[in-house]
A and B are shown apart, each in its own frame.
Chain A
Amino acid sequence: MAFVRVACVVFFVTGLPAQPQQAASAPVTSPAQGYRIAGIVVNSLSGQPIAAASVGIGPVANQGGAIPKAVTTGADGRFAFTGLARDKYSLMATARGFEMQFFEHHDAFATAIAVGPDLDSEHLVFRLEPDASIEGQVTDDYNDPILNAMVRLFERRIEDGLQKTSPMNQVQTDDTGHFHIGHLAQGKYYLAVAARPWYAQNDRSVLRRRQRTSEADTRAAREAAALDVTYPLTFFPNSPDSAGASPIVLHPGERATADVIMHAVPALHLLIRTGGNPNSSASGSTLFPMGGATNPQVWQRLFEGYLEPVFNAPVSRAQPSVVEIIGLAPGHYTIEMPSSSATNEKVVSRAWYQEIDLAGDAELNAGDAPAFATVNGSVSFPGATSVPKDASLRISNPVSGESFSSAISDKGQVDFSADAVRPGRYNVSLDGLRGFYLSKSSATGARLIGSTLEIGGENSVHVLCVAMRGIGQVDGVALRDGQPFAGAMVVLVPHDPTNNSPLFRRDQSDSDGTFTLRNVLPGQYTVVAMANGWDLEWSNPAALQPYLKGGEAVQVPGAGKLQIKVQVQ
């Protein structure tokens, strides 16, 4: 069963007395009284029952909706729902120290409980994983605490079937340099700390104030250099580069410690000659916070290529056409100037980007920097009388996390020209449209194969997308030794998986071994079921290869449901 991110009503209430288990010792159910879901909630680490755990159920078909029933476990950890109609139910539970979890959950999937004749739904053991946490101390070279440092937590996990390291939380250190991140699930985490030295003085304009003697000038310059420093983004335990980051592997209930020492390094200054907009009113040395509409933005690529904004490098605008990014640590950066969309700015400045390796102060001439790709095109809807409303086309780079969306006009036009689209591999998909899929699409100025748009050096890209109606569904049962198998990972693998990653579908078999793969586009697929594939990069063709021959080939027509059986590997 797949579930949409918990949108159910979870509430914080207090000290409710543990409700008596109405049916804890009820007689065996008969269809006339309805069916039962019953079992015990235990701590996955200790196996001990969890008292006062809150347990809820809802029909699977009612995904994301309100929870029709909820009970609280007694001192023995037992729970029971009675009077249930024949159906499949999502089962979830939470308790103090246990974030809400679905039964036998893996990523966004879980095992739903099927109730009905000859189905045992009354001996469930719900293993809740206790929350883990990470805490630590951020200090400087002199063992002084760094307050208000931004601690970024990244998690490495399988996302859309590929190994990815993405940000998942951030906190700030307190006045003692301490931070704490709680309610973490088990997993592999990385920590990065961003901060600016409290004494940093990166604006060099103060040095332009002449002293009375050259000796004093020299002294002032030397002292100013001691303040013209910054901290690189520092990965636990002690690396300015994500490649040198050590994972923090959290087990359920673990309280990990991760201290980070920040080393101040001389700040580098990047002077950017924007060459444009001499009418700008900026004069004098004005400090802007990062992220202003017409200021360059600075990014760093982390891990597999995730684009992380640089938080601690202010921008100084000394002259209208010269921008200085002050306070950068040595490293590789992506600088980009978004097209100015400020409403009161008549002159639209040229948008550009530049990858740059900084080892010392540098200058960048914006005129020499490459422009973003201009992506536009059209989406046609053969057979439809008009373009559906509120539809949009999305191109997203799964590696960097960049994602752009363009509304589809009533004439079917899409335009990404205001977006900062760099060369790279993008997935193309339709947003806000149920029952449509992209087919036979093509592009000029870039390669568009299947639903993968590969933008190279060409600046002008035109896509021609065809949206077809028709969504199928594959229902099935996972079997091992002829018996239904609960909790298997089920993957629908498209033909030519390399270029069709948006066509993958996944589910987890429920307590009766059944599964449902929804929103399947027409075509040739293989359905694979695995008993223990949780660490598998399930949309990576190479990783899947060994399992494909044991899978079940299916041909999905334009619409309707298929019924299949798959052997669990």
Chain B
Amino acid sequence: MMGNCQSSSSLVHPLRVEQGFKDCVATGNEMRLWNKCGEMIDFEPLGGGICARRAHNPAGKPEIRPSRGAAIPVAMSDCSRHPRLIWKARAVFSSILWIALAGLSPAQIASAPSSRSSDAFSVSGTVVNSVTGEPIGRALVRVSGGVRTAFTDAEGHFQIEGVQEGSFVEAQKPGYFSPQDSDGSGRNKPGKAGSEAGSTLLKLTPLSAVYGRVTDGAGQPIERIPLRIVQRAVRDGRQRWDPLGSALSDEDGWFRFANLMPGVYYLAAGPGRDEIRILAVDEKPKTGYPMVYYPGASDLASASPIQLVPGQQTEADFSIAAVPVYHISGTMTGYRPDQSYGLLVLNQLGDPVSTPVRLHLDTGAFDIEALPAGSYVLKAMPPPGDQPLRAELPLNVTSNLDNVHLVLGPAISIPVMVHAESRTSNSTVGGWDSTVPPPVSVRVTRLESSASSAQMILEHGNRNNPTLELRNLDPGKYVLDLMPHSRWYVQSAVYGETNLLSDDLTVAPGQNYPMEIVLRDDGATLTGNVKSSDGTEAQATVLLVPQSTSRRSTKVGRSFPPNGFTLNALPPGEHLVFAFDHADKIEYANADALQPYASQAAHVTLTPNQETHVVLNLIHTGGGE
């Protein structure tokens, strides 16, 4: 997957993203890039899974950080198409993310104090399993840029001759990922250069797996029961349920989810049907398997988490007793007769339930053959189109249900009015030209306990249609993320009576007013350094939390020694600044989650167009790896 970036700016280059990360990058906010100076490098979603990134700082190594994975320093390599730009004031980074099934484990090749040709370096070392310390054979080691490569031998050794000074090496192999890196601990020691041929230790962390067997009350295997694994993770400061995979048990009842990152997972099985039985013409199934969360809970809240550490292979078996199933029937109205609709029954996780659903479009009558007791959502699937009619109906099944009425109605669309107020005197960076998309991306994510039904829409306009509109939303509650570009910050955002800087977005039928966003460009800049308790400079995740009650959008940055961090385009006002060693698991979108650390935060007052410098004390969370 590679895109051609047609931008006139030489600072924008396409990022080639291997399979598996396309969606993450396309959302614009799930993968971020920092350089070693702690400045974030913006991703600009260009659509179609292609993102451009922008480098603001001339020096230092960029760091690509998939939000769910490890921080990965990636070598700065020359971009052969613009060789001269590299050493100019503004650098261009062009590298390739080699992440897919394999992990990455990088180390930098140190510069040597010698006047020899810059190609005369060599790097050698060992790739080891970070958990067991055992060498990993047949790992692929790449020098930055991906041109120079070597495989490790059976002892995990590799050697690459004639590499350029300052290059990075990285290792990959299916079944492994790169451990959390560049925390300054020097776990990945830079390789020595030239004839000295010191040894680089590259660590790869084994991925984990959950497997198990599904049996019925009599201990007999249940075949073809749907299984789903979800990960509980904190992303953008909020707890999320990420659906990671689905499977069907095999004829012996077995299932397996592999290549999982360390973390907290939940498993669900069912609802399902079991034993093959021939049914007579007027016979309906009487029993089935309910949806069960591991180990036997009826909802996610009472399920047991499965905690996976690196390399762990965990068995998680289900024993599911059959329960009665019920018959649901009713009518769907409000559809256009010339359009073809489908009806889906979704379970609590938002996955379609594989039960026969019959819909007669001539009468609108539908019937659903066999559902175990439980909570479901009946959803009409409209044909694709600009203005689809849709309907969703929660079903709480405890018995047979007749006369269920599903009424189709128009989907809700919210126009987004963006007012960009330029307050800078510099005429070359005036307001925003209304013929191009406004300098803000808007993302709404449906707030549901269920994972896979979470509807997410990202809107950033495009050249053909510079106006923003959130189209075809289902009624419900949404988290709104506003991502202003470059120098802009969000001054205010309202939807009707709702202040979107402090409250979630509630979408209901009948609303026909726009969302109004005011952007300003007189933001403040905050620079700083982070000191650990022994006085040395530390790497940290920096959170800037506005103290105005009407505003809760938190800004996140990374601080790396020795340059510290820089946060740009900050809204003026009172803020608390936190510097965490590990912020991955902090639900910072929830004010209560930060409360225990408030006494260790710094208080700053930001004024328009001003640069403020702070020195922060590192807050130990005790979390992390």
Contacts and interface: CB of A to CB of B under 8 A. Distances in A.
Are A and B part of the same complex? yes
Interface of A: 8-16, 54-56, 65-70, 72, 92-97, 99-100, 131, 133, 142, 144, 147-148, 174-176, 180, 182-183, 198-199, 201, 206-207, 209-213, 215-216, 219-220, 223-224, 226-227, 283-287
Given A131-B251, A133-B251, A13 B4 contact: no
Contact of B280 (A12, A69, A133, A287): A69
B563 to A, nearest CB: 29
B201 interface: no
B256 A180 contact: no
B278 A94 contact: yes
B287 A14 contact: yes
**Interface class of chain B by DSSP:** loop
Contact of B151 (A72, A131, A219, A226): A226
Interface core residue of B138, B220, B224, B276 (most chain A CB under 10 Å): B276
Given A12-B275, A54-B277, A198-B174, 12 more contacts: A14-B216, A15-B274, A55-B278, A94-B277, A100-B276, A182-B251, A199-B140, A212-B119, A223-B148, A224-B149, A227-B140, A287-B1
B148 A13 contact: no
A553 B137 CA distance: 71
A224 B275 CA distance: 53
A14 B278 contact: no
Given A15-B216, A219-B161, A287-B1, A96 B283 contact: no
A133 B224 CA distance: 16
Contacts of B209: 175
B173 to A, nearest CB: 8
Contact of B259 (A15, A175, A209): A175
16 contacts: A8-B278, A9-B279, A9-B281, A11-B276, A11-B278, A12-B224, A14-B274, A14-B288, A70-B283, A92-B278, A133-B251, A147-B258, A175-B258, A209-B145, A212-B164, A224-B147
Interface string B4-17: 10000000000000
Interface string B215-258: 01110100010000000000000000000000000111000101
A13 B101 contact: no
A198 B101 contact: yes
B287 A67 contact: no
Nearest to B16: A287
A92 B276 CA distance: 12
B509 interface: no
Contacts of A12: 224, 272-277, 285, 288
B424 interface: no
Interface residues of B, number: 55
B393 interface: no
Interface core residue of B273, B283, B287 (most chain A CB under 10 Å): B283
A220 B148 contact: yes
B280 A14 contact: no
B162 interface: yes
Contacts, number: 164
Contacts of B151: 199, 226
A94 B279 CA distance: 11
B164 A13 contact: no
A208 to B, nearest CB: 9
A142 B281 contact: no
B280 A198 contact: no
Contact of A175 (B1, B117, B175, B218): B175
Given A206-B146, A206-B147, A223-B149, A14 B289 contact: yes
Contact of B278 (A100, A209, A213): A100
Given A174-B258, A175-B209, A11 B279 contact: yes
B162 A219 contact: yes
Contact of A70 (B117, B150, B278): B278
Interface core residue of A11, A72, A220 (most chain B CB under 10 Å): A11
A181 to B, nearest CB: 10
Given A142-B137, A212-B164, A213-B162, A14 B281 contact: no
B286 interface: yes
Interface string B575-592: 000000000000000000
B258 A10 contact: no
A66 B161 CA distance: 72
B261 to A, nearest CB: 13
B280 A67 contact: yes
Contacts of B150: 223
Given A147-B101, A206-B147, A216 B162 contact: yes
